[in-house]
Structure 1
């Protein structure tokens, strides 16, 4: 197993301590800071595994499938934890997670037809803002300016989520046409 795939597996493994630090009662600030550190490390493995795989020609079918799955599991876990803690409205989590299912479905149909749907710039911006949003919502500093920034970042992430969804659908609408 190559390094990028090991990083992908590490990202999935890190979800367990991340969720534990988010949800185990009584951890207080230590749990909050630990969950932020774990989330940032897991997010950085996403950046690293792709760069390493492309730079050293280590792209594998395992990586093509598991890397996006690991990303979705990490983000969905964070959104669910934040919703459970009352820091993120459920409807926002539902929209973001639904977008991920829709795009995954598109990719599966495309793959079945021998088409690869690459990540778009909108998708990359969306991911960046979602990661920033998650970190800000976990930290949840009790300062008016911080709270306003967190709300703004949340809505920017939500808008980018929807824009990237529409972009994927428009660019890949032919994938939905029946194949002969």
Structure 2
């Protein structure tokens, strides 16, 4: 140690009371791990033609791990103040990547109608882009309906990945139907919130 203050050495000293958050914290590591799971999930899902029950079970395990880490990384980031700009961008991308990969694989294998995949992906990608569009005016918080939608999608897609038969196959159809309805309704609600947020921000700006 030279004993020279950071500012004198050409490095700006952090402002008093400001806690610097490391980029590679546990929350961001979990997010990156979820991204790296995506190609592994696809390989497991499509291995041996995509209809081998054993490999579909392995794919389900990878999907389940991704869904669980999605819950943990956000909770850890908020609880321990580990929120970073990288995490704000990478987390939703990781979420959509694993869900999109699962939906596309299921439709490619003719296990799930393409229109279901199209509706869900259009909603997820559209809402994510919309969040970035209005982020300078404010953040649209996750609603209870949005959380229910995420849960319904995860359960429904997981049931389809397992290639269930009999009564369970009928059950997964209805779970997916609920997921699609929640996907559309919550998407419309987020659009409404974005319009209101942008309108209020413009009104506040013009009133200055």
Superposed pair shares fold, TM > 0.5: yes
| Partner in structure 2 of residue 60 of structure 1 | 84
Deviations 1:41-86 (A, max 9, x none): 1111100001111111111111111111100011000000000111
2:140, 2:193 within 8 Å by CA — same for their partners in 1? no
Q: Which 5+ residue runs of structure 1 have no aligned equivalent?
A: none
Unaligned runs of 5+ residues in structure 2 are: 1-23
> Of the candidates 167, 170, 182, which is equivalent to residue 160 of structure 1?
182
Please identify, of 18-27 and 53-62, the stretch whose mean Cα deviation from structure 2 is larger.
18-27
Report the Cα offset of residue 37 of structure 1: 0.5
Task: Write out the 4+ residue segments of structure 1 that deviate beyond 4 Å after TM superposition.
Answer: 175-180
Aligned counterparts of 1:21 and 1:103: Cα–Cα separation in 2: 29
The match for 2:64 is 40
Paired position in structure 2 for 1:6: 29
Give secondary structure in 2 for the equivalent of 1:24.
helix
Q: What is the 5 A alignment of 1:88-127?
A: 88-111=112-135, 113-127=136-150
Secondary structure of the residue aligned to 2:48 is coil
| 1:174 match | 196
Deviations 1:18-57 (A, max 9, x none): 0001112257222111000000011111000011111111
Paired residues of 1:14 and 1:38 also in contact (CA < 8 A): yes
> Could you say what the CA RMSD is over the residues aligned between the two structures, in angstroms?
1.6
Measure, in 1, the Cα distance between the counterparts of 2:90 and 2:129.
Answer: 15
**Structure of higher CA gyration radius:** 2
- Contact kept, 8 Å, 1:109 with 1:175, in 2: the verdict is no
1:127-163 deviation per Cα after TM superposition (whole angstroms, max 9, x unaligned): 10000011100112221x1111011001000000001
Structure whose residues are more often helix by fraction: 1
